[in-house]
């Protein structure tokens, strides 16, 4: 590799490393102290970078909050889809319920991620503008899978996309209220009713 390319590659690698360090520091602080109680000075101190470096990657604190929500919600969704694919389930309804069940169990076991995501699980599917290209491709495949199957059920493209959005809004809200706020019932009590409602939306 020519010397110039090595230098450019090293610069890109260092930039990515600093960005990840900022994400890691922000995540730890947001999930322990809360985003509202965390200052940018604390994030950069924990990440071990200069304050000016923060603004090379993010406009302000709310920018990193939104990007972290997107990053973590996308991570949950991609993992759930991978695990669903491994099952070899053929029926669309069964695949959907397995997928949703995996998401719920994941969030139940990872309450810190759920606290950060709050009720914004649908961000992982629908806020495409902020995504890196490789992440965008993976999530677009998930969206396409659901929408194509909903269209086969007789929905229009718009109806299918809005149905998918509503399902994820519903799951995110129910998980947050039940798992974090512990109301109105335990998530295991709510699950069967939630699954029935989702099935009625996709059948």
- Which residues 6+ apart lie within 8 Å of 130 measured at CB? 66, 67, 70
pLDDT of residue 83: 93
Give the closest residue to 22 by CA, choosing from 50, 4, 93, 167. Answer: 50
**Residues composing the chain:** 203
pLDDT of residue 4: 65
pLDDT of residue 124: 66
| Predicted confidence (pLDDT) per residue in 136-178, tens digit | 666 778 888 899 999 999 999 999 989 998 998 999 999 999 9
- Residue with the larger pLDDT of the pair 124 and 140: 140
Cα dist from 201 to 66, 155, 160, 174, whole Å: 29, 11, 10, 16
| Predicted confidence (pLDDT) per residue in 56-87, tens digit | 999 999 899 888 888 888 888 889 989 999 99
- Cβ atoms of residues 43 and 64 within 8 Å: yes
pLDDT band at 112 (very low <50, low <70, confident <90, very high): confident
Rounded CA-CA distance 32/13 in Å is 29
Cα dist from 174 to 107, 118, 133, whole Å: 11, 10, 30
Q: What average pLDDT does this structure show over 179-197?
A: 95
Percent of the chain with pLDDT over 90: 50
Element (H, E) at 45: helix 40-47
- Which residues 6+ apart lie within 8 Å of 106 measured at CB? 76, 79, 80, 113
Average pLDDT, the chain: 86
The DSSP-derived string for 53-69 is HHHHH-SSHHHHHHHHH
Query: Which runs of consecutive H residues, i.e. helices, occur in 2-156?
Result: 3-33, 40-47, 51-57, 61-87, 92-109, 111-117, 123-126, 133-152
Give the closest residue to 125 by CA, choosing from 65, 171, 60. Answer: 171
Q: Is the peptide bond before 29 cis (omega within 30 degrees of 0)?
A: no
SS3 label, residue 155? coil
Q: Which tokens belong to 48?
A: 């071990």
pLDDT of residue 25: 94
pLDDT of residue 42: 95
- Cβ atoms of residues 198 and 167 within 8 Å: yes
pLDDT of residue 3: 64
Residue 189 has pLDDT above 80, yes or no: yes
Residue 129 has pLDDT above 50, yes or no: no
Q: Which tokens belong to 35?
A: 């985003």
């Amino acid at each position: 590799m020519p010397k110039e390319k090595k230098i450019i590659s090293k610069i890109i690698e260092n930039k990515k490393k600093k960005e990840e360090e900022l994400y890691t520091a922000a995540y730890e602080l947001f999930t322990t102290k809360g985003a509202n109680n965390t200052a940018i000075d604390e994030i950069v101190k924990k990440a071990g970078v200069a304050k000016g470096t923060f603004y090379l990657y993010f406009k302000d604190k709310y920018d990193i909050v939104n990007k972290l929500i997107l990053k973590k919600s996308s991570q949950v969704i991609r993992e759930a889809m991978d695990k669903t694919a491994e099952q070899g389930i053929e029926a669309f309804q069964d695949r959907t319920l397995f997928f949703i069940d995996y998401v719920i169990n994941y969030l139940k076991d990872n309450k810190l991620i759920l606290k950060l995501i709050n009720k914004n699980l649908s961000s992982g599917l629908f806020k495409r503008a902020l995504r890196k290209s490789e992440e965008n491709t993976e999530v677009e495949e998930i969206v396409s899978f659901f929408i194509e199957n909903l269209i086969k059920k007789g929905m229009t493209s718009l109806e299918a996309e809005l149905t998918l959005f509503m399902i994820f809004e519903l799951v995110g809200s129910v998980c947050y209220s039940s798992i974090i706020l512990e109301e109105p019932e335990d998530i295991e009590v709510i699950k069967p009713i939630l699954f029935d409602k989702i099935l009625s939306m996709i059948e």
